Amino acid sequence: EVRVHAPLPVLLDGDPLPSGATLHRTGEALPLCAGEGLDELIALPARGSLPAVAVYGEAGDLERAEVLVRLAHSAAELLHATLGVEGGRLRFVSAPLRDRFVQVAGDRTILYSDRLFHVLFLLRRFHEGEAVRAAILALVRQALRDLPLGADRDWICEGVAWLLSREWVRARKGLEARQLRTGLEWLSFIPSIDRVLRAPRFAGSDLFYGHFYEPAVAVPDGFSRALSRRARGRVPMEKLRDRLGEERLWQLVRGLFGPGSRAERAAFRERAARLAGEPLDLFFELWLGPTPPQNLRVRNVEVLDRAEGARRVRVHLRRDTDDGRIGAVGDPVDVEGTGPGGAPVRARWDGRGDDGVVEMRLEDALWSPIRVDPERRIFQTIYADDQVPHLPFRVLLNRFRARVDLNRGNRNEVAVGLTLHPRFDYAHAVTLDAFYEQDEHGIAASYRYGFGHVLDERRYGASVGFGLNAASLGEGVLIDLPETEGELFSLNAGVGFDTRRSRLNPTWGLALRGGLEWADRWFDTRFRFTRLRASLSLVFSIVRGTTLGAELEVGQLEGNDDEIPSQRLFDAGGESTIRGVRTSRFTGRALFAVRGELRHMVVEDLDVPLLWLAWLRKVQVVAFLDAGDVGRRVEDILRSDPLWKWGAGGGVRFFVDVFGVTNVTLRFDVAVRIDQEAEDREPQFYLGANQSF
């Protein structure tokens, strides 16, 4: 029962309700929308095959409303031409969606975000495809409302909407998904592009690339689906395409809307089995569940004969997986190469079992790659051995760090380098860096192994690593303190454990890190020491939009005073220790620091364009308090807590969305020293990326 007593406009599944009305309803709950900006912009009745369309949003925003009507009519025309579906009702309602452009709520209501219209014009057709998919999904749900599909209803509706929206994207002129991936592949050494290609997390990434395995559910059709990262309808539909072929797949889909009896139309799985000519019980069990991990690799390429500038080869394939159902069901695998005339040629392995063989006639060239699964129709855990010849590692130019000391502490630095991922396995990373600081420059190499797993949307990750540093030490940083010169060679090791979901704005979790650096007069150097450092960070949300964070950091240097370089002493000041204390003034062999932050989101759901290449999405304010000191031993610092140095201040965080696919957090802080021993209370300024911890 719904009683409406509010001065605001109220919509129930897209239908306006007058204030004071009482509605009785049983069964499925419907979305209730209320807000000051819900003015009816456009209301068009159904005509012909077109549905009735209404758009609710901010008054005067007719241009966007007309775009939504155009897209809704385009979706309805495609649905009618392909499946013969007519009529229906659609209600577009403006809503502050945080991580998607549109969302289907109920059978008729489509929530849309302003950011649907704030995209780079080159990408607009893909983002508009999200609105088209939502309209198709709503109309399909209405058309199949009375069909007894049972538990299959949700995924069948989503799958049909996926198939039709892909047809809509293909029908529009422009770049195709594979062309986009191929073009961007040349720039995949840039980390953000590599991430967008390998693990996109932006709304509509599946339509954008045509990659139906993308985990983002852009148009969830129920509350439980909105909380799930597992794709459903589009995966079994595409696997049915592989099993049945294009013609029989559409025959199966058209049967849902055909003239047959309700029972025959609703028997979707039975009709699919008849078209396949075999039982599909294990097929649906496999592809309606979590995506099974597998890895395809080329075991061997056997040359059978050569003639007239071509070679006939036999390609031996292997599937590595722990799920035996894949081989039993059969997951077809395409293999692509370059033919004698330069055109691509393909062969297909039916995917039965774990080993397969295909024969191909390719050009007889020195470099003629053979690619497995060129359309990325199979979700693989590692893309390493699925092409021959291939590089044995992935190269990323992601090692860049720069710091400009805004407080005249001479803590300026710059570092550049690259990361190698052996066998394209991102769990293993080899890093090579060159760095320059005011009092030190050199090179560093390290290896890191990361591991962990996802449990109920929470990621528990850990890492271990070790490395080597070679540096030349100089002067120019410490204020009124002696400095060291010479050559340094050291080994380092580290371990980490992290449950935070995002470095951009963590709202829950903890991070534990520990590191060790060890030098022992190697290569005729004069330095011998052991440097230990550990930290524990905690963040949790007090209420929505407000987060409390705390960090504890401890460090200790062991060794003789004349064998410890000044560059390895701990600094009490700076953005990574006690903010408000000037850098390079207080150093010691031990460090103990506690930092606390209160973060509050003051503005959300912004769409402020920055040169139309990026958008300001959120603004957060921060208040912080830091305390601690440096000394000779950690226990000495703890006993002298009345003499600790204290710093306090505030800052602002700007959350920026670059190109609609990459998020960046920009940080600016101002702090002052507030303890009684402070002689210099000059404000200190800090600029950086991501949160402090």
In this structure, is residue 650 part of a structural domain? no
Contact 261, 255 (CB under 8 A): no
Q: Which candidate, 663, 664, 665, 660, places its Cα nearest to that of 115? A: 660
Same domain, 377 and 405: no
Q: Quick one: which H or E segment has residue 325?
A: helix 325-329
Contact 104, 119 (CB under 8 A): no
For the chain, give me the number of helices (H) and strands (E)?
14, 34
**How many whole angstroms separate alpha carbon 50 and alpha carbon 52?**
7
Give the CA dihedral 262, 264, 269, 271, nearest 10 degrees: -150
Q: Read off the CATH number of the domain in which 574 is found.
A: 2.40.160
Q: Which candidate, 206, 126, 136, places its Cα nearest to that of 174? A: 126
In this structure, is residue 253 part of a structural domain? yes
Contact 597, 647 (CB under 8 A): no
Buried b (16+ CB within 10 A) or exposed e, 576-585: bbbbbbbbbb
Give the structural domain span for 134: 2-287
Q: Quick one: which H or E segment has residue 328?
A: helix 325-329
Same domain, 184 and 281: yes
Given 230, 252, 287, which residue is the final one in a domain? 287
In this structure, is residue 332 part of a structural domain? yes
Contact 589, 635 (CB under 8 A): no
Contact 615, 660 (CB under 8 A): yes
pLDDT at 199 (0 to 100): 65
**How many whole angstroms separate alpha carbon 289 and alpha carbon 662?**
29
Given 345, 362, 388, which residue is the final one in a domain? 388
> Is the link from the previous residue into 683 a cis peptide, with omega within 30 of 0?
no
Q: Read off the CATH number of the domain in which 266 is found.
A: 1.10.390
Number of folded domains in the chain? 3
**How many whole angstroms separate alpha carbon 140 and alpha carbon 135?**
9
Contact 34, 13 (CB under 8 A): no
Q: Read off the CATH number of the domain in which 379 is found.
A: 2.60.40.10
Same domain, 274 and 248: yes
Q: The tokens 């450092």 sit on which residue? A: 533
Residues in the chain: 693
Same domain, 224 and 333: no
pLDDT at 272 (0 to 100): 96
The pTM is what? Answer: 0.73
Same domain, 513 and 434: yes
Average pLDDT of each block of 10 consecutive residues along the chain (693 residues)? 52 58 52 60 88 85 88 94 92 77 84 74 68 93 91 91 88 64 74 71 67 54 41 84 94 91 91 95 91 87 89 93 92 92 91 94 85 85 73 82 80 89 84 91 93 54 90 83 89 91 79 95 91 95 91 96 92 92 91 96 82 82 96 94 92 84 85 86 89 89
Q: Among positive and negative, which fits the CA dihedral 170, 174, 178, 184?
A: negative
Same domain, 235 and 309: no
In this structure, is residue 664 part of a structural domain? no
End-to-end CA distance of the chain, in Å?
Answer: 47
In this structure, is residue 605 part of a structural domain? no
**How many whole angstroms separate alpha carbon 212 and alpha carbon 683?**
52
Given 287, 307, 323, which residue is the final one in a domain? 287
Question: What is the chain's alpha carbon radius of gyration, rounded to the nearest angstrom?
Answer: 30
In this structure, is residue 587 part of a structural domain? yes
Contact 137, 77 (CB under 8 A): no
User: What is the secondary structure of 84-152 as a DSSP string?
Assistant: -----EEEEEE---SS-SEEEETTTEEEE-GGGG-S-GGGHHHHHHHHHHHHHHHHHHHHTTTS--GGG
In this structure, is residue 267 part of a structural domain? yes
Same domain, 370 and 424: no
Q: Among positive and negative, which fits the CA dihedral 180, 183, 188, 193?
A: negative
pLDDT at 488 (0 to 100): 94
Same domain, 109 and 147: yes
Q: Quick one: which H or E segment has residue 182?
A: helix 177-185
pLDDT at 412 (0 to 100): 82
Contact 32, 69 (CB under 8 A): no
Axis-axis angle for helices 153-171, 246-257 (nearest 10): 120
The number of beta carbons lying within 10 Å of the beta carbon of residue 453 is 9
Same domain, 518 and 575: yes
Contact 516, 492 (CB under 8 A): yes
In this structure, is residue 414 part of a structural domain? yes
Same domain, 219 and 333: no
Same domain, 35 and 162: yes
Same domain, 420 and 375: no
Give the pairing type, strands 370-372 and 662-673. unpaired
**How many whole angstroms separate alpha carbon 432 and alpha carbon 447?**
9
